[in-house]
C-alpha cells in the first residue's frame, strides 16, 4: 500500500527520469494516477470544479473551498497577510506576539439555527484557521497524505457511514470530507454531512458565483445539482462520498508543473547534466546547484514537485506550539513535524510555512541559512547552518521563483481559471452612514456578510459593541428614507415603522457598555420579483432602558440577486 511513496521520495528521480531515447523536449512530470474506483472524467472534473467554487458548500454561504485556495496565489490564500482579520492568535490565544499564525478567515462561529455564537477570539468576525493554507495545485502528487500533518490519508471512507470506499491513493478524497464540517472553515457548530448533502441538493449550482469560465457555464447551464451528479456519476443521487470524489477529481486536474525548470531538466537521468541549460539564467542555474548541493534543500524537496511527502521538524517554531504529525501518529520523532510542501509555484504563495510568518522567499532562505530558528532532538539534521553569501542567497531565491512557476497558474489560465466568488463581488451587503453612539460613547457594530440571495437561506446579521443586557432591534426597510439617512440616536420614530420589519433581541449578551452582542436571522424573499430590489437595515440599541434614546449602528444595504 505504501509502495507509491517510494518513487516520490527518491531524489528527483521522477523529474529527472530517464527516457534517454526521447527527443529533447519540455517534460513536465506525469501526473500521479487517480485511485482505482474514482477515475478522472470530464464531467466529474466539471462537477468537482462547480462544487469547489460554490460558497453554498458552507453554512454561511460565504466560503467555498476556493475562498482559501486561489490558483493565482499559487493555490493558497492571498488574504493571508499580517493583519487582524487574517491572524490566528496561536496557542496562547493572545494576538500580537510570535506564536500568531497568518492564515485564512473561514466563517463566523455559528449554531445550527444560523445564529452566531460570540467567539472569544474572533467575536462575530470570520474565524481564522490555525494553519496557513497549503496549495491544492499539485496536491495530487501527495496521494497518501493531505494536510500539513497528513491526517487525511489514502483510505477514503464514506463521510457518513465510515465504510471504506477507496483503498489506495485517495488522500485527496479524504481531505475533502473535512472543511465542510469544520465550524471554523465552512460549517456551523455540529455540522454534519447529511445536512451538507441536503443543502447542496437544493442549491442552484454556483448560484452565488459570477463570471463562470465558459466550459463550466456550459456544463452547469441552468441545471440542478442532481442533474450534474447524473452527468458525472450516472445517477442523480447527491451523496457525501460523491461530493468528495468529484472535488478530488477536479483537484487531480490541477497539475501546475510545466515550468522553465522542466525545460531545463528535459529528460536527463539523475545526476546527468540538464538537457537544456539555457532554459535557466546563470543565476538560476547557480541557485539550482545550491538547492541540490551545499543548501541540502534536495534532501526533502525532491520528486516531481519538490516534496518527499514526508514529515520533518525544521525549527520554524518551538515544536510544542503545533505538534504537527505527532498529533496523528504519536511518534516522538514527529513532534512538530510538518509535511514538506511542494515548491512548485512557491513564489506566488507567500507568506510561507505552516504559520505564514515568513513574508518573503528571501526570509525563508535566511531561515535555512541560519539553520532554522528552534532546536529539538528530532530536528531534521539537514536543517543546519549553511553559510551562503548574499550573492548565493540571491541565486537560491532566483531558482525558487521563475524556474518553478507555471505561468498558467500565475495567470489563472485553464485549468486554473475560475468564477468570481460572491464574497469577492459587489453582491456583498454594503455599509454606509456611520452610526450614532449611545450615551456610553459606543457605536454598535453591524455584521452582515451572508448572501442576499432570493430563495436562498435566511441571512444572519449580528451586532457587537452595544450595551450588554439592553434591548437591540434590527430594522429592515425598503425605504431609503429610513436607513438612508441613519437615524440619530435620539430620533427613533415609531411612525417610520409602518413598512419596517423588526428583529428584536430583548437583552444583548455581555455585560455593560461596549460588551453587548447578539445576532438575528432575516428571512429572504422567495419571489424572483425581488431580484434587483434593495432593503436597508440598521441596528438600534436602547440606550438608557427607557426607550427615549437609541444608539445606532451603520446602515447596511442588501441588494437582492
Instruction: Return the number of the residue (220 or 300) whose C-beta is nearest ligand HEC.
Output: 300
Region 212-271 residues binding ligand HEC, contact defined as CB under 6 A: 247
C-alpha cell at 279: 532554459
Q: Does 456 bind ligand HEC (CB under 6 A)?
A: no
Instruction: Return the number of the residue (370 or 531) whose C-beta is nearest ligand HEC.
Output: 370
**3-state DSSP assignment of residue 150:** coil
Q: Does 341 bind ligand HEC (CB under 6 A)?
A: yes
Instruction: Return the number of the residue (197 or 396) whose C-beta is nearest ligand HEC.
Output: 396
Contact between 208 and 451 (Cβ < 8 Å): yes
DSSP 169: S
Q: CA–CA separation, 426 vs 374, rounded Å?
A: 45
C-alpha cell at 69: 485556495
Q: Does 147 bind ligand HEC (CB under 6 A)?
A: yes
Q: Does 146 bind ligand HEC (CB under 6 A)?
A: yes
What CA–CA distances, in Å, run from 76 to 71, 79, 137, 349, 377? Answer: 7, 9, 9, 6, 31
Stretch that binds ligand HEC, among 117-125, 225-233, 259-267, 291-299 (CB under 6 A): 291-299
Stretch that binds ligand HEC, among 192-200, 220-228, 275-283, 295-303 (CB under 6 A): 295-303
Q: CA–CA separation, 356 vs 115, rounded Å?
A: 31
Contact between 149 and 324 (Cβ < 8 Å): yes
What is the dihedral sign for C-alpha 54, 215, 68, 310? positive
SS3 sequence, 439-453?
CCCCCCEEECCCCCC
Nearest residue to 470 via CA among 500, 427, 440, 425: 440
**Spacing of C-alpha 71 from chain mean position:** 11
Q: Does 143 bind ligand HEC (CB under 6 A)?
A: no
Region 76-105 residues binding ligand HEC, contact defined as CB under 6 A: 103-104
The count of residues interacting with ligand HEC (CB under 6 A) is 55
Q: Identify the residue among 15, 340, 405, 460 touching ligand HEC (CB under 6 A).
A: 340
Q: Does 445 bind ligand HEC (CB under 6 A)?
A: no
Region 348-367 residues binding ligand HEC, contact defined as CB under 6 A: 349, 352-354, 361, 364-365
**Spacing of C-alpha 168 from chain mean position:** 26
Contact between 322 and 336 (Cβ < 8 Å): yes
Residue 389 makes CB contacts below 8 A (sequence gap 6+) with none
Stretch that binds ligand HEC, among 160-168, 344-352, 468-476, 491-499 (CB under 6 A): 344-352
Region 44-73 residues binding ligand HEC, contact defined as CB under 6 A: 52, 63, 65, 67-69
Strands 550-559 and 500-505: unpaired
Stretch that binds ligand HEC, among 125-133, 233-241, 410-418, 488-496 (CB under 6 A): 125-133
Binding site for ligand HEC (CB under 6 A): 52, 63, 65, 67-69, 103-104, 106, 129, 131, 133-134, 136, 139, 142, 146-149, 175-176, 179-180, 185-186, 247, 295-297, 299-301, 312, 314, 316, 338-341, 343, 346, 349, 352-354, 361, 364-365, 368, 380, 382-383, 396, 400
Amino acid at each position: 500500500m505504501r509502495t507509491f511513496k517510494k518513487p516520490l521520495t527518491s531524489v528527483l528521480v521522477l523529474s529527472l527520469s530517464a527516457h534517454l531515447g526521447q527527443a529533447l523536449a519540455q517534460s513536465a512530470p506525469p501526473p500521479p494516477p487517480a485511485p482505482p474506483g474514482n477515475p478522472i472524467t470530464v464531467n466529474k472534473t466539471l462537477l468537482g470544479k462547480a462544487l469547489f467554487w460554490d460558497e453554498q458548500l458552507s453554512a454561511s454561504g460565504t466560503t467555498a473551498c476556493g475562498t482559501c485556495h486561489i490558483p493565482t496565489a499559487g493555490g493558497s490564500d492571498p488574504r493571508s497577510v499580517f493583519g487582524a482579520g487574517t491572524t490566528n492568535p496561536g496557542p496562547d490565544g493572545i494576538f500580537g506576539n510570535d506564536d500568531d499564525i497568518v492564515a485564512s478567515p473561514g466563517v463566523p462561529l455559528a449554531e445550527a439555527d444560523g445564529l452566531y455564537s460570540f467567539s472569544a477570539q474572533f467575536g462575530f468576525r470570520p474565524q481564522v484557521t490555525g494553519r496557513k493554507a497549503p496549495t491544492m495545485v499539485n496536491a495530487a502528487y501527495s496521494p497518501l497524505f493531505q494536510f500539513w500533518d497528513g491526517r487525511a490519508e489514502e483510505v477514503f471512507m464514506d463521510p457518513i457511514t465510515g465504510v471504506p470506499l477507496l483503498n489506495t491513493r485517495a488522500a485527496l478524497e479524504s481531505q475533502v470530507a473535512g472543511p465542510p464540517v469544520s465550524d471554523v472553515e465552512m460549517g456551523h457548530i455540529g455540522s454534519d454531512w447529511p445536512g451538507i448533502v441536503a443543502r447542496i441538493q437544493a442549491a442552484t449550482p454556483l448560484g452565488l458565483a459570477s463570471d463562470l469560465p465558459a466550459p463550466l457555464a456550459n456544463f452547469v447551464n441552468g441545471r440542478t445539482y442532481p442533474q450534474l451528479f447524473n452527468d458525472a456519476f450516472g445517477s442523480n443521487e447527491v451523496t457525501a462520498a460523491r461530493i468528495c470524489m468529484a472535488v478530488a477529481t477536479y483537484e487531480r486536474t490541477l497539475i501546475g508543473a510545466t515550468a522553465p525548470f522542466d525545460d531545463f531538466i528535459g529528460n536527463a537521468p539523475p545526476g546527468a547534466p540538464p538537457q537544456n541549460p539555457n532554459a535557466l539564467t546563470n543565476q538560476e542555474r547557480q541557485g539550482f546547484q545550491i538547492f541540490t548541493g551545499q543548501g541540502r534543500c534536495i534532501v526533502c524537496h525532491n520528486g516531481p514537485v519538490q516534496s518527499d511527502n514526508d514529515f520533518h521538524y525544521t525549527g520554524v517554531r518551538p515544536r510544542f506550539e503545533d505538534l504537527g504529525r505527532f498529533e496523528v501518529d504519536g511518534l516522538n520523532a514527529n513532534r512538530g513535524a510538518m509535511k514538506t510542501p511542494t515548491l512548485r509555484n512557491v513564489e506566488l504563495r507567500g507568506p510561507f510555512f505552516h504559520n505564514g510568518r515568513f513574508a518573503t522567499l528571501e526570509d525563508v532562505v535566511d531561515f535555512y541559512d541560519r539553520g532554522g530558528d528552534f532546536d529539538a532532538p528530532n530536528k531534521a539534521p539537514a536543517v543546519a547552518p549553511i553559510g551562503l553569501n548574499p550573492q548565493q542567497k540571491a541565486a537560491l531565491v532566483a531558482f525558487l521563483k521563475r524556474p518553478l512557476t507555471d505561468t498558467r497558474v500565475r495567470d489563472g489560465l485553464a485549468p486554473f481559471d475560475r468564477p468570481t466568488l460572491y464574497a469577492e463581488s459587489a453582491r456583498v451587503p454594503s455599509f454606509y452612514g456611520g452610526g450614532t453612539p449611545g450615551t456610553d460613547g459606543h457605536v454598535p457594530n453591524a455584521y452582515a456578510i451572508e448572501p442576499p440571495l432570493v430563495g436562498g437561506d435566511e441571512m444572519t446579521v449580528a451586532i457587537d459593541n452595544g450595551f450588554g443586557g439592553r434591548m437591540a432591534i434590527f430594522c429592515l426597510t425598503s425605504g431609503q428614507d429610513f436607513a438612508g439617512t441613519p437615524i440619530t440616536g435620539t430620533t427613533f420614530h415609531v411612525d417610520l415603522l409602518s413598512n419596517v420589519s423588526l428583529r428584536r433581541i430583548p437583552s444583548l449578551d455581555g455585560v455593560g457598555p461596549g460588551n453587548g452582542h447578539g445576532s438575528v436571522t432575516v428571512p429572504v424573499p422567495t419571489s424572483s420579483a425581488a431580484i434587483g430590489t434593495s432593503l436597508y437595515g440598521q441596528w438600534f440599541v436602547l440606550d438608557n432602558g427607557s426607550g427615549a434614546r437609541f444608539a445606532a449602528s451603520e446602515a447596511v444595504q442588501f441588494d437582492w440577486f
